[in-house]
Chain A
Amino acid sequence: MTTYIRTGRPGRRDVLRLGLGAGALSLTAARSRAQTTAKPDVVRIGYLTAARAWVVGKTDGSFDKSLGVKVEWVPFPSGGPALSLLAAKQIDFAIFGNTPIVAGLSRKLPIQILGSPEIVATSERLVAKPGITTLRDLEGRRIAVAPASTMAFALEAVIRINKLDASKIKRLPLSQPDTIAAWKRGDIDATYINGPFWAELLADGGQQLLVSEQLQPSGVFVWNSAVVRSEFAERSPETVVAWLQTVQAQFDRYRSDPEGVSRILAKDFGAPFEAVRDTLAGLRYPTFQDQLGPKYWGEGPVAAKDAPLIKALGDAAAFLAETGEIKRDDVPASFVPAVNYALLRRAFPS
């Protein structure tokens, strides 16, 4: 093998190339400034690599049609990578968990929240090995949970609400497929896990101790929010409105035909039909109209102060700051400005 190494000073050609690069950069900047009001050339939608009802719109081009532009679908495995994609301006829209969204907002990631079309109810469950029947039994045990997930947040809430001794519970950060392996080997005693994974554990004799919905009376909500990059929302508000309405249309379609939508998604994601059906059934789907009310986000920015989900965002931020994931000084004083009520109202007038 031979390697040719170029030595010496940078030639005239290199300098020229550098200049060209800089010129191209400034050109791009000028172009993006000129496009302030124009329709985007392409809309990039990020989605979780797990079946979600609204993603049925990917399979039949609903979004391409209603937005009137080319749509690109960008998958991400969990909320963390979704934040990176948004920060790198690789996606414009996404729907993912409230915990990573809070982390992103604290890092001043320029994104806006567009409601909460998916509320976790029974899709995330705390499952333990046979013999562990009460939450108190979890003390002195090892619990696996996917790192930086809504489940990790919910598990801490379970410990806090039930006044369990946190120092006696060993939390093991494990991805969900790895959790199954660790369970089979007997390396863990319990796990807070998403569907369809819990189905396998329950079939293996696992005991279900809790589903996330049971935490709601204590003010603990876990949900997925729709988000848009702020820059995109400012430049193309009409596209955001159309996108929101299209998302709602997909959830309406799911509500009227859960089996049919599950079947299409099972095929698209290459997952077993029953698993997809049961996972989707584990989420609640309030309409955007419902979300803009006292049970979720409040009717508008003024009424939002005491809205449960605004409060829940604050709680999630406090939790993340306490565990040291985000800096306490970075937490915004209020999450109300992070929600784009104006565009939500434009898409769904009262």
Chain B
Amino acid sequence: MNAIRRFLIGLAAVAGVTLAWEIAGRTHLVEPLLLPPPSEIVTTAIDLVRDGYRGTPLWQHLALSLARALGAFAVATLIGVPLGLAMGAAPGFGAVLDPFVQFLRPLPKLALIPLVILWFGIGETSKVLLIFISAALSIIVGTAAAVATVQRQRIRAGQALGAHGLALFRYVILPHILPELFVTLRLSFGIGWTTLIAAEMIASDAGVGWMVVNAGSYLRTDVVMLGIVMLGGTGYALDLALVGLQRWVAPWSGRA
């Protein structure tokens, strides 16, 4: 199936679901309070673009959430990848860190909120930190696992051909792990993005995650759905961007 065909089928599926959803709302098959039809969400979107939500323009909510998530993700990548590489390359070091990483990784980040507030206050640091923690831990584990899959023969072959240290890493290990690293980054970004709601529950008055939670407590299901569409759409777009980056940086992905 070629790419255009796939895209068209996907588009038709989305259009079909949206149409069915609209009809269900119009005919009161589904209570609009429980699931507002797409047309109401569009109206709400127009209102919020014009007037903002709770005194903040809609684009600023999105920009703020993006800044928090991308900032946290960037730091998580800068710290997580080297740490994961070190853990994968030096089994002793990995064994030291592993219990801590494995303990923290599956922990629901909501449980950390009280401690994060006590230790880091209610400012931006706490919000970014929460996203950072969830993204960084998955990056560490994924990177370490990727390094562990490099076959010993390849490393020996590289060494036999005179590659050591940085050269070995650059020409043998990196090309092998890059595709897997990108998968890890994509998954970790998704995990970080889902932590946005938890992060923006800490003393926020702006951000898409906050908007969803706040609107929910006033039963503004139209704003909740709009926020969900924004979160989902942005997450999807950023994932596509990472895939694009992967094609550019590691074009051999999936052809090894």
Contacts and interface: CB of A to CB of B under 8 A. Distances in A.
A341 B19 CA distance: 42
Range class of the A interface residue count? 35 or more
A303 interface: no
Interface stretch (B48-56, B84-92, B153-161, B225-233): B48-56
A109 B218 contact: no
Interface string A304-341: 00000000000000001001111100000000000000
Interface in B21-58: 31, 33-34, 47, 51-55
B219 A104 contact: yes
B54 A84 contact: no
Contact of A80 (B34, B47, B216): B216
B202 interface: yes
A20 interface: no
Contacts of B114: 177-178, 181
Contacts, number: 84
A318 to B, nearest CB: 15
A103 B122 contact: no
A229 to B, nearest CB: 13
A87 B219 contact: yes
Interface in A73-97: 78-81, 83-84, 87-88
B34 to A, nearest CB: 6
A172 B121 CA distance: 12
A177 B204 CA distance: 16
A171 interface: yes
Interface in B193-248: 202-205, 214, 216-221
B117 interface: yes
Nearest to B44: A327
A228 interface: no
Contacts of B34: 87-88
A103 B202 CA distance: 23
A338 to B, nearest CB: 15
A340 B52 CA distance: 36
Nearest to A79: B217
A77 B54 CA distance: 23
Given A185-B118, A324-B53, A84 B203 contact: no
A17 B37 CA distance: 27
B121 A103 contact: no
A288 B159 CA distance: 87
Interface in B110-150: 113-114, 117-118, 121-123
Interface string A158-182: 0000000000000111100110011
Nearest to A188: B122
Given A148-B214, A178-B114, A181-B114, A83 B205 contact: no
A172 B217 contact: no
Contacts of A206: none
10 A-B pairs with the lowest CB-CB distances in the bound complex, closest first:
A80-B217, A148-B217, A103-B218, A107-B219, A83-B219, A172-B203, A325-B218, A181-B117, A324-B54, A181-B118
Interface of B: 31, 33-34, 47, 51-55, 113-114, 117-118, 121-123, 202-205, 214, 216-221
26 contacts: A79-B217, A80-B216, A80-B218, A80-B219, A87-B31, A107-B219, A107-B221, A109-B33, A144-B203, A147-B214, A147-B217, A172-B203, A172-B205, A174-B203, A177-B114, A178-B113, A178-B203, A181-B117, A181-B118, A184-B118, A185-B121, A187-B121, A320-B218, A323-B54, A325-B54, A326-B218
Interface of A: 78-81, 83-84, 87-88, 100, 103-104, 107-109, 144, 147-148, 171-174, 177-178, 181-182, 184-185, 187-188, 320, 323-327
Given A83-B218, A147-B217, A173-B203, 14 more contacts: A84-B216, A87-B33, A100-B218, A103-B219, A107-B33, A107-B219, A108-B33, A148-B218, A172-B203, A177-B114, A182-B203, A185-B121, A187-B121, A325-B54
